[in-house]
Structures are given as C-alpha cells and as structure tokens.
C-alpha cells in the first residue's frame, strides 16, 4: 500500500512537471531533469516556508513587551503587578501584599516575602493584553537586594518606574533610575497611591524633573485627589476614564468634565511643548502652529520614549484599582518591542568586537542566563533570548565554559508556577531545567561565539561569621551556602584563615539575616551567627621602594630570589584594584619566574599588616632582580615577593578604608533635632536636610561601622515614626584615632589567639 501511494505521488509529480511551461516543450522530461526540478522545487519551497515562518515570528515580535516594575520600598510595585495580572486574566482574585487572608500577592511566592510584606527575589510572569504578550519582572525595592534589580534591568526592553504620590522621589527611586540609565532602558513613570492623604502628583512630577533629571510630562490628569479621587483624563486622546465594578475592572469612557477643560488644555499644551523639545517632527507642527492630532502626539511620545529622551507620566492607585488599565495601554503604546532596542554581543572569534544583534528569530541562537534558582527539579536557569530559536531537546553551547548541553525541559514562568513549552524565540524570557551554568553565561547554537556583556555586580559591604549549631548538619549547611552563592552574585562565602570560621558577606544586615533564615527554613539547619563585621580595606598613600633578597640554604637545593622595584597608589575608584607591571629590561630574572612573582605580590596584598584586611588601589612595578642558575625556583621568587611587599608596606604610609553609606532618614519634624544629633554622634556628615510637608528628609554619609542597630535606635527616638534607607557609597580613609583603635583591636585579637 505504501509503495502504491509512493508511485501515485510520483505519477502526479511527473504530470505536474511534464505539463509545466518552464520545461522545454520539444522533448519529454527525462528522469534526470525531472529529479533536478523536483529537488529545486522542494529546496525552494523549504526555503520559502522557513522565510514565511521567520516573517511571522518577526511580526509577532512587534506584539511583545518585556518590562520590569521597579521603585523605592513600599511604593506599590507588587500591588501594581497583582492588578495587572488580574485585569489580564492571569489570576482570578486579588490578594494583598500584607493581606489578612494568609495568601499574599501572587508574585511574592516565598513564605518569608509574605510574612515580612517585602519582595526578596525578582519574579517573572507573563500575560496578554489586547493581543500583546507582556513579560513582567517584579523586582525588590530594598537596597539589600539590589542585584535582583540589576539583573532584571539587564535583560528588559522597557520599565515602569513607580513613584509614591506622598513620598515622592525617594533615595531608592534615585538608585533604580540610575540602574535604568546604566542599561539604557526606556521607561514610563507611574505615580501611585493618589487615594492617600497628602497625595500631590504635581509635586512628584517636579521632583522627578529636578532629582532624577527626567525630561517628563504628565499624559494624564487626575479627577480629584485623596478620598475624592474618581478617575483620569487622558491628555493624548482627550477622554475621561472612570473605573467601576468591585475591583475596578470595568473601564467607562466619557467626555472631559466641563469644569476641568481649562486645566486639561493647559496640561496638554505643556505635554506638547515638552515632547517638542526632543522630537523634531512634533516641533515642526508646534512651531508652525498647526493643529496636533492625537495620533501625531502619540507617535511623537513613542519616538521620544524609545530614544530615552522623554518619560511619560501616568497616574492612579493600584490598591484602589484605578488607573492600571490605561497604564497597560501606555506600556503597549510607548515602550519598545524587542526589535526596537539595540542589543550588542562581543564576538570572541574577532577580538571581542561589538556585534549588533538583529533580534530576528531566524538568526543564530544567542541567549543570556540572567538568574539562577534552585527549584524542586534541580537548577532553574532564566534565559533572555536575544536572537534565534531554542527548542526542547536542542543542543546549546555555553560560550563561557565551552560545554555543549542538551535542553531537557523548557518552561515559561508565572511566579513560582511553570508552563511547559516546546520552543521559544528571540525577544522572549523563558527558563530551562538541568542546564549547569553561572549567572551571566551566554548560550548559542554553536555557529557563533558571541558573549553578552555581564551585569554590574556591587561589592559586598558587610560580613557575618556563621556556623551550624549541630556538627551533623554540616553537609546541608555547605549545600545551602553553595546554592545561595551561585544564585546571588552579591552573596559571598569565605573562610577566615586565622579563626577558621565561615564568613558570609552581603549588602547589609537584612540581606544576611534573610539568608540565615532561609538556611533554617529550607535546609532545616539551625545556625548561630557572630557579630556583624564591616568589610574594611587598606590602601597605601605614597610610593615606596623595595629590594629584597630571599636566600635559604638547607643542604641540597636552596632557595634564591631577589626582587627590586616600587609600589605606588592607584587613584581611588580605579577600575582595577591591583596592578602588576614588569619593567625589567633584559634577563635579570628569567621570564618564566615573572608569574610567580606577580602571584606572590597578589597574595601579600590579600592581607595588609594594619588590620589584616585586603590592600586595594595599589600598583607594583618590578624594575630589577637577580636569580641563581641552580637555587632559583618559582617558590623562591613567590616568597621573595611576599616578604618584599611586607618590607615596603609601612614605608608607603598605609591607611584603613571603611565603607561609607548614603543614608536617607525621614522623620516627623519634631524629632529632627535628636536625629541629627545622633547622626553627628555616629560621625556622620549631613549633606542635605529638606522639609517635606510635616516631615524632615535628612541625607547623610555615615560609616557603616556606626550603623549597627540603627533601626532600633531610630524607632525609639521617633516613637516608631521614623524610617530610613541606606546604600553603599564608597570606601574612604578613617580618621587617625579610629585607625589606631582598629589596629589595637587587631593586635589584641591576634595576641589572644596565640
């Protein structure tokens, strides 16, 4: 039967080709000619099918938006995401971040997040709105989890910056905006909480212009504020939106209220004027005094937003279910699709030359692993696909490690839930199981050797000694630390060489406390912690020469190595913290010993002699030396380097550097005096003090060493009404008296251990 089916198909093809006008008419089609035409026909049709599929996928990319929601703590990011998921039909009931029903918001899937009412890990989800696919990443607001914001913004095409209409532009809003600028992410702003007492969106808009240097204007005007907030007027379409139904799911469109026409006209003129400053097309219409239609204005706002020259400002209250649907429309209208964003890779075969990725699904696969998570079924790797297609069962190449891996399972994430898919294409955010890699690794299909630029990882500022209470749980304890270190690049684990203690380092007290709590909950290991330790550093302040001969004879082959040169300070804030230069002319030291000399100096710089902390911002220059034909060895030169560094270190006038934190304190004005007095007592430097209604906003630079327990002290000083945020600013030299005190403590600790 199969044979007869094949022969009938052959007859059909023969008839088709012999009757084809493209064949020569004077002779019957030979089997060879028929075979050739058949091959050309099938090859051409396959190419056409592939081309058609590529065009379809390219068109579908126009309807994809990859966005992140970022803001200061308690601005309403997770609440906003919850409403977006509800209105797009991804969830069917709304739960609050600090809800009494014990369920909590969908995107806060960890028990700790629900208990504390904060977001700890960024969570990915996707939804559909008006035929568009929107991939969303909800990020934490607390500065201790800043890496979650960094890695989300690294892979996103657009973002929503949420601002509180009462709090305005706060310290973390500035940090998040700086991160968005670093990754060149186009954004829209959403002024939330218009239903709260003291809401003033126009004050917040002015703050965004002055503090964030945003070129921005409102695209909406609120109807009423605080408890009278009813709806919004769209300045582009000149329509009124009212939100009805138990959860504001019914959007009613109406005309602009008569009593608001003057305000709406004024604000629309301001919007047109602001966009005209950065968009030439609109400027021509504006200067020619021609009427500007809604579509003209909409297109101009889109162009300016994607070019990162303008930030459209939306308004509403996520908690009271008002203004979320127009914001979603704004995401589709003004934020870019994956093909409208320029993404670059580095070609490893061509001296890391920058290559612009097309974002096309038909190109070679290029994907970045931006986040790792330990799931129930093994390691879950979040991928952003920049080009090409990835399919379940495909073999992919990890360019960073050189390994070839199979994709056993491909999923789309909805917070902590997964949906299995067969393939994903450029522009999508997906997750794969069973692929061993690190954060920041690049995957391709093997036809190209491209790597994506990695994300900015801040240095840890605080350390804590931690140990399991029971000796039997050591295996689980180290398993937990290894996993967390792999997941979070700002979480480091080390061993104190002197005390033998396990030291964990992170971005702050809360960051480390959360990980200790996760060890207890997720691995059932009780751990006790030592006093938090500040990550001090040491640095030299002047040039110093060294000339050291390491000579040892103990029968048999001895050790001989002489190194000469100098050390000098690098400028503070240099990209590299240690530099080694070989300035030897000739062969005073054979070249095969130079790496051992560099290794020795690097090892010596790991522990300064003042307080035993690493030495940074130092350049070592090797100018001369001597070797022995028999006794010189790598070990001899390495030891010579270590002793040479110690010899010249004190002559280079070393200083201790401590981490300085940028602290933003907000307290009722009546407590301002006692709070500023306490900051001075902590050796803090007040750099700003603004009145914000009944509150005082104090900005200060305070040494981290003086910030332990500050939250408790601030609460007791302000009857629980004060709040503060802090983030790492820089390492700077400590005063002489503090340095002497730290050195005495270090000597006393060393003496007690001997």
495 marked as part of a ligand binding site: no
72 marked as part of a ligand binding site: yes
Long-range contacts of the stretch 173-176 (C-beta < 8 A, 24+): 173/71, 173/72, 173/75, 173/211, 173/212, 174/211, 174/212, 175/143, 175/146, 175/727, 176/70, 176/71, 176/72, 176/149
Strands (E), 408-473: 409-414, 417-420, 423-425, 429-433, 442-444, 450-452, 462-468
DSSP states of 223-242: ES-GGG--EEEETTTTEEEE
Q: Are strands 158-164 and 423-425 parallel, antiparallel or unpaired?
A: unpaired
140 marked as part of a ligand binding site: yes
Q: Are strands 158-164 and 187-192 parallel, antiparallel or unpaired?
A: parallel
646, 604 Cβ separation under 8 angstroms: yes
Question: What three-state secondary structure class fits 362?
Answer: coil
Task: Give the span between the Cα atoms of 211 and 303, in whole angstroms.
Answer: 24
73 marked as part of a ligand binding site: yes
165 marked as part of a ligand binding site: no
Question: What three-state secondary structure class fits 539?
Answer: strand
- For the chain, give percent helix, strand, coil, nearest 5: 35, 30, 35
Place of tokens 């104090």: 698
N residues, the chain: 754
- Chain centroid offset of residue 161 CA: 14
336, 306 Cβ separation under 8 angstroms: yes
Tokens of residue 119, six digits = 């977001």
Task: Give the span between the Cα atoms of 160 and 152, in whole angstroms.
Answer: 12
Task: Give the span between the Cα atoms of 339 and 227, in whole angstroms.
Answer: 42
381 marked as part of a ligand binding site: no
Task: Give the span between the Cα atoms of 453 and 342, in whole angstroms.
Answer: 13
Residue 607 neighbours by CB under 8 Å, 6+ apart: 497, 613, 614, 615
Integer angstrom CA distances of residue 379 from 353, 433, 484: 32, 6, 12
Q: How many CA atoms lie within 13 A of 713 on its CB side?
A: 14
Residue 408 neighbours by CB under 8 Å, 6+ apart: 392, 393, 432, 433, 434
Task: Give the span between the Cα atoms of 727 and 490, in whole angstroms.
Answer: 14
Task: Give the span between the Cα atoms of 534 and 463, in whole angstroms.
Answer: 6
74 marked as part of a ligand binding site: yes
200 marked as part of a ligand binding site: no
Strands (E), 266-408: 311-315, 343-347, 353-357, 366-375, 378-387, 389-391, 395-398, 404-406
189 marked as part of a ligand binding site: no
704, 661 Cβ separation under 8 angstroms: yes
Give the residue from 153, 171, 173 showing the smallest Cα distance to 163.
173
Binding site members: 71-78, 138-142, 192-195
Binding site members for GTP: 71-78, 138-142, 192-195
């Amino acid at each position: 039967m199969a044979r007869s089916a094949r022969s009938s198909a052959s007859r059909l093809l023969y008839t088709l080709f012999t009757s084809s006008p493209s064949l020569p008419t004077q002779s019957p089609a030979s089997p060879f000619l028929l075979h050739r035409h058949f091959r050309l026909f099938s090859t051409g049709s396959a190419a056409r099918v592939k081309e058609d599929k590529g065009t379809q996928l390219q068109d579908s990319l126009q309807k994809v938006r990859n966005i992140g929601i970022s803001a200061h703590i308690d601005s309403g990011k997770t609440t906003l995401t919850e409403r977006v998921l509800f209105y797009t039909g991804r969830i069917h009931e709304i739960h609050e971040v600090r809800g009494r029903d014990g369920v909590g918001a969908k995107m806060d899937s960890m028990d700790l997040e629900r208990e504390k009412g904060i977001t700890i890990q960024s969570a990915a989800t996707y939804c559909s709105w008006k035929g568009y696919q929107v991939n969303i990443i909800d990020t934490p607001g607390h500065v201790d989890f800043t890496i979650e914001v960094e890695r989300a913004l690294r892979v996103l095409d657009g973002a929503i910056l949420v601002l509180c209409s009462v709090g305005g532009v706060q310290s973390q809003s500035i940090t998040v905006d700086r991160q968005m600028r670093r990754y060149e992410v186009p954004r829209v702003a959403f002024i939330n909480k218009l239903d709260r007492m003291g809401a003033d969106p126009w004050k917040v808009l002015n703050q965004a212009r002055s503090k964030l240097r945003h070129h921005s204007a409102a695209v909406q005007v609120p109807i009423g504020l605080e408890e009278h907030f009813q709806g919004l007027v769209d300045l582009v379409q000149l329509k009124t939106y009212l939100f009805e139904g138990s959860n504001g799911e019914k959007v009613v469109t109406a005309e602009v209220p008569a009593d608001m026409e003057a305000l709406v006209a004024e604000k629309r003129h301001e919007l047109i004027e602001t966009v005209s400053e950065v968009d030439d097309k609109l400027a021509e219409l504006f200067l020619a005094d021609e009427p500007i239609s809604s579509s003209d204005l909409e297109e101009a706002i889109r162009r300016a937003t994607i070019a990162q020259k303008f930030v459209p400002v939306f308004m509403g209250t996520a908690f009271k279910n008002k203004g979320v649907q127009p914001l979603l429309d704004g995401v589709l209208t003004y934020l870019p699709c994956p093909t409208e964003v320029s993404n670059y890779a580095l070609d490893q075969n061509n001296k890391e030359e920058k290559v612009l990725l097309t974002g096309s699904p038909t190109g070679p696969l290029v994907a970045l692993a931006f986040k790792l998570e330990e799931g129930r079924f093994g390691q879950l790797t979040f991928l952003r696909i920049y080009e090409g297609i990835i399919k379940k069962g495909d073999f992919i190449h990890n360019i960073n490690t050189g390994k070839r891996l199979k994709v056993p399972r491909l999923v789309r994430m909805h917070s902590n839930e997964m949906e299995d898919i067969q393939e994903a294409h450029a522009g999508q955010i997906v997750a794969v199981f069973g692929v061993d890699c690190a954060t920041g690794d690049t995957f391709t299909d093997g036809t190209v050797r491209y790597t994506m630029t990695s994300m900015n990882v801040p240095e840890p500022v605080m350390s804590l000694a931690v140990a399991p209470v029971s000796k039997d749980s050591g295996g689980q304890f180290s398993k937990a630390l290894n996993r967390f270190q792999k997941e979070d690049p700002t979480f480091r684990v080390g061993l104190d060489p002197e005390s033998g203690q396990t030291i964990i380092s992170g971005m702050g007290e809360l960051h480390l406390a959360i990980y200790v709590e996760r060890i207890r909950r997720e691995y059932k290991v009780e751990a006790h912690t030592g006093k938090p330790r500040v990550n001090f550093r040491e640095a030299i302040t002047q040039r110093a020469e060294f000339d050291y001969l390491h000579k040892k004879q103990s029968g048999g082959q001895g050790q001989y190595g002489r190194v000469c040169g100098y050390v000098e300070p690098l400028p503070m804030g240099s990209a590299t913290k240690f530099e080694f230069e070989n300035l030897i002319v000739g062969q005073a030291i054979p070249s095969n010993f130079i790496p051992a000399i560099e290794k020795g100096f690097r090892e010596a710089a790991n522990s300064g002699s003042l307080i035993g902390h690493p030495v940074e911002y130092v350049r070592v220059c090797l100018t001369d030396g001597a070797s022995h034909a028999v006794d010189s060895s790598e070990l001899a030169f390495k030891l010579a380097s270590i002793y040479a560094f110690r010899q010249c270190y004190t002559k280079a006038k070393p200083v201790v550097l401590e981490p300085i934190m940028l602290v933003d304190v907000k307290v009722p004005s009546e407590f301002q005096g006692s709070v500023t007095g306490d900051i001075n007592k902590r050796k803090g430097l007040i750099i700003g003090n603004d009145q914000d209604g009944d509150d005082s906003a104090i900005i200060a630079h305070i040494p981290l060493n003086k910030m332990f327990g500050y939250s408790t002290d601030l609460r007791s000083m302000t009857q629980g009404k004060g709040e503060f945020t802090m983030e790492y600013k820089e390492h700077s030299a400590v005063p002489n008296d503090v340095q002497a005190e730290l050195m005495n403590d270090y000597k006393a600790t060393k003496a007690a251990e001997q």
